[in-house]
Amino acid sequence: MSSPAVPVRRSVLGTWVPVVAWAAVIFAFSSLPSGSTELSTWELVVRKLAHVTEYAILAALLCRALRRAVPAIVLASLYAVTDELHQTFVEGRLGTPRDVAIDLAGILVGVVGWRLWRRRR
């Protein structure tokens, strides 16, 4: 007979491992030094869309883990601020309030997407 704690532990791991893994992916991307100072318009657009996508995924994973949107928004937003702070220590990178705002847009996209997906289930 199995212990009831085992399924709970697996559930917690299955819920939070994706959140932590995705946060690590974001951290890894933020740790890459920037080699160019001048970006073309398309490069800039692609980078900003990457911000939106990264944080949309993070917010959706947090919504899944927490089952509530507001705490997920708060945690993802705090992570966005710390991510931008982290970038100030990376060669050629800047941490900017504009990027936090772009991350927040991604967070909102992720929360709306999660809510729509949950509604269809």
Question: Is the pLDDT score of 43 beyond 60?
Answer: yes
More confident residue, 2 or 99: 99
Output the pTM of the full model.
0.87
Give the pLDDT of residue 36: 64
DSSP 75-116: HHHHHHHHHHHHHTTSTT----HHHHHHHHHHHHHHHHHHHH
Distance, CA of 39 to CA of 93 (rounded, Å): 13
Provide the pLDDT for residue 20.
97
In the predicted model, is pLDDT for residue 64 greater than 90?
yes
DSSP 4: T
Residue 78 structure tokens: 């705090």
Calculate mean pLDDT across residues 4-32: 85
Q: What mean pLDDT comes out for the span 40-47? A: 89
Band the pLDDT of 117: cuts 50, 70, 90: very high
- Cα 41 from Cα 55, distance rounded (Å): 22
Cα atoms in the Cβ-side hemisphere of radius 13 Å centred on 73: 13
Cα torsion for 6, 22, 107, 54, to the nearest 10°? Answer: -160
Summary mean pLDDT of the chain? 90
Q: Give the model's confidence band at 23: pLDDT under 50 very low, under 70 low, under 90 confident, else very high.
A: very high
Asked if residue 32 has pLDDT above 70, the reply is: yes
Where are the chain's structural domains? 5-120
